[in-house]
Amino acid sequence: MRKPLMIVLLAVLLGATCILSLFLGSRPNGIADVVAALGGNGDEYLTSVVDSRIPRTVMGAIVGAALAVSGTLIQGITRNPLGEPGILGIGMGASAAVVTATAVLGALGGTQTMLFAMLGSVIAVAVVLGLGGKSSARGIVPLILAGAVVTAVLHAYINAMVLLRPDVFDSYRFWMVGSLAGVQLGQLAQMSVPLLLGVVAAFAAARGMNALALGDETAISLGFRIGSTRLVGIVAAALLAAVATAIAGPISFIGLAVPHIVFALFGEDFRWRIPAAILGGALALVAADILARVLLRPQELMVGIITAFVGAPFLLAAVRRGAVMK
Phi-psi region of 122 (alpha: psi -120 to 50; beta: other; left: phi over 0): alpha
- CA-to-CA separations, 60 to 63, 105, 136, 314, in angstroms, rounded: 5, 28, 33, 20
**Is the pLDDT score of 324 beyond 60?**
no
DSSP 273-314: HHHHHHHHHHHHHHHHHHHHHHTTTTS---HHHHHHHHHHHH
H/E stretch holding 155: helix 141-164
Q: State the average pLDDT over residues 195-212.
A: 91
Residue type present at position 138: R
**Rounded distance, CA 82 to CA 100, Å?**
29
Q: Is the dihedral of CA 198, 183, 304, 29 positive or negative?
A: negative
**Is the pLDDT score of 42 beyond 80?**
no
**Is the pLDDT score of 158 beyond 50?**
yes
Secondary structure class of 244 (helix, strand, coil): helix
**Is the pLDDT score of 65 beyond 90?**
yes
Residue-averaged pLDDT of the chain: 84
In the chain, the domains with their CATH numbers are: 19-320 (1.10.3470.10)
pTM equals 0.88
Residues 6+ apart with CB under 8 A from 15: none
Q: State the average pLDDT over residues 44-56.
A: 82
Question: What pLDDT shows up at residue 169?
Answer: 77
- CA-to-CA separations, 233 to 92, 94, 130, in angstroms, rounded: 20, 20, 16
Q: State the average pLDDT over residues 77-95.
A: 83
**Is the pLDDT score of 134 beyond 70?**
no
Question: What pLDDT shows up at residue 136?
Answer: 47
Question: What pLDDT shows up at residue 135?
Answer: 47
